[in-house]
Chains A and B, each alone.
Chain A
Amino acid sequence: AGVVKAEDYTLPAYVDRRDVPLPEVAFVRELSAQQKALKEKEKAAWSALSTQEKVELYRIKFNETYAEMNKGTNEWKTILGGVLFFLGLTGVILIWQKHFMYGAIPHTFSEEWLSAQTKRMLDMRVNPVEGVSAQWDFDKNEWKK
């Protein structure tokens, strides 16, 4: 048995749903004496009802207005905050690792090596179609603009 008392789902029930404009039953079942009097007044001409009375009649029939039903929550802010927090935490962990754990990178990443390596790639015409050798102007000896 669940925690919330729910009625048998085969009985007519009230729902606030965009696609169910006319729920099976009214929201308020047991009317107070004041509400009963209002219901009597409803049987007469509606122009005699004040705005406040019309709203009261609406609230007897329905729980939420469409506007209330459709309004969003602020849940997205919580989710976004959580995501950014964990991204940041991951970043902190990565920075810590780089600083405290990892050793030196190979000597082939030095500026001197990389420029010699790039020159060699161009000399060998590596990827000449759309890759690095296609982006170098061999006549002018400079990168293509």
Chain B
Amino acid sequence: MANRSQLGFQDASSPIMEELVQFHDHALMVALAICSLVLYLLTIMLTEKLSSSTVDAQEIELVWTILPAIVLIMLALPSLQILYMMDEINEPDLTLKAIGHQWYWSYEYTDFKDLMFDSYMIPTADLPLGHFRLLEVDHRVVVPMESPVRVIVTADDVLHSWAVPSLGVKTDAIPGRLNQTSFVANRPGVFYGQCSEICGANHSFMPIVVESAPLANFESWSSLLSSQ
């Protein structure tokens, strides 16, 4: 989850998110360089230290075509690398289904057992002391850590979106359609997210909580829940 007034990303908890953070830092530096250049040029133009009565501009035209092309390549290559990395075949150990409803998520783990449950937000009035307002749920999505997990996302009624920023996951939940995403949680922990597609009155009140735990803990949780 984010700190109050946090501006930057949450710490990555999956390899893809680590890549995305690095790419973001790179792109931000490029943007900073360009903005600095523009601000500098603007300042010297406005303070009238730069003027021009050029009629022939072949050289500068060449420069300000080639240089932006190079900048674009510097952005496109890492971006495409990550894009393709996201689509790699990764042999998931677990498949889970996330179904969006108005206004809660339901999850199905039907690989080995018939485990299905709903995940509702805990209302602010019922929060135990120190718990996170608008983020806690009654049943978390438990996954084994360091294992590739496939998530099939869909919706029951209107558009929703299943998003967990620290895992680098955001996938739209569309009624009548199955969208697939995957992640690997590279550390144990609890990762929070919120519904990311406007879906009605309680769109802000249907969060997602993913808890990654060692395999033994995951197995005992799933046995406990599916026996109920």
A108 contacts B11, CB within 8 Å? no
B53 contacts A132, CB within 8 Å? no
Which of B61-69, B125-133, B193-201 forms contacts with chain A?
A: B125-133
Q: Please report the C-alpha to C-alpha distance between residue A119 and residue B129 in the assembled complex, in whole angstroms.
A: 11
Q: Which 9 residue pairs of A and B lie closest in terms of their CB atoms, listed nearest first?
A: A116-B130, A129-B11, A127-B11, A19-B53, A108-B133, A120-B130, A117-B130, A116-B129, A131-B11
Interface majority SS (helix, strand, loop, mixed), chain B: loop
Q: Is A18 part of the binding interface, using a Cβ–Cβ cutoff of 8 Å?
A: yes
Residues of A near B129 (CB, < 8 A) are: 112-113, 116
Q: Please report the C-alpha to C-alpha distance between residue A106 and residue B189 in the assembled complex, in whole angstroms.
A: 27
A132 contacts B3, CB within 8 Å? yes
Q: Please report the C-alpha to C-alpha distance between residue A106 and residue B4 in the assembled complex, in whole angstroms.
A: 14
Chain A residues bordering chain B, tally (CB within 8 A): 24
B12 contacts A124, CB within 8 Å? no
Shortest C-beta distance, A112 to chain B (Å), equals: 7
B132 contacts A129, CB within 8 Å? no
B124 contacts A119, CB within 8 Å? no
- Which residue of A is nearest B3, CB measured? A132
Within 8 A of B (CB), among A98-117: 106-108, 112-113, 116-117
Residues of A near B220 (CB, < 8 A) are: none
Q: Contacting A129 at CB < 8 Å: which of B12, B52, B53, B190?
A: B12
Chain B residues bordering chain A, tally (CB within 8 A): 20
Q: Is A70 part of the binding interface, using a Cβ–Cβ cutoff of 8 Å?
A: yes
Q: Contacting B131 at CB < 8 Å: which of A70, A112, A117?
A: A117
- Which residue of B is nearest A110, CB measured? B129
Q: Is B10 part of the binding interface, using a Cβ–Cβ cutoff of 8 Å?
A: yes
Q: Contacting A106 at CB < 8 Å: which of B48, B51, B133?
A: B133
Q: Mark B95-132, 1 if CB is under 8 A from A, else 0.
A: 00000000000000000000000000000100101111
A124 contacts B189, CB within 8 Å? yes
B189 contacts A126, CB within 8 Å? yes
Residues of A near B11 (CB, < 8 A) are: 127-131, 134
Residues of B near A132 (CB, < 8 A) are: 3
B124 contacts A126, CB within 8 Å? no
Shortest C-beta distance, B81 to chain A (Å), equals: 22
- Which residue of B is nearest A107, CB measured? B124
Q: Is A125 part of the binding interface, using a Cβ–Cβ cutoff of 8 Å?
A: yes
Q: Is B24 part of the binding interface, using a Cβ–Cβ cutoff of 8 Å?
A: no
Q: Please report the C-alpha to C-alpha distance between residue A117 and residue B135 in the assembled complex, in whole angstroms.
A: 12
Q: Is A94 part of the binding interface, using a Cβ–Cβ cutoff of 8 Å?
A: no
Q: With A121-B1, A126-B1 in contact, do A131 and B131 touch (Cβ < 8 Å)?
A: no
Within 8 A of A (CB), among B130-172: 130-133, 166
Query: Counting chain B CB atoms within 10 Å of each CB, which of A70, A126, A132 scores highest?
Result: A126
Within 8 A of B (CB), among A12-47: 18-20
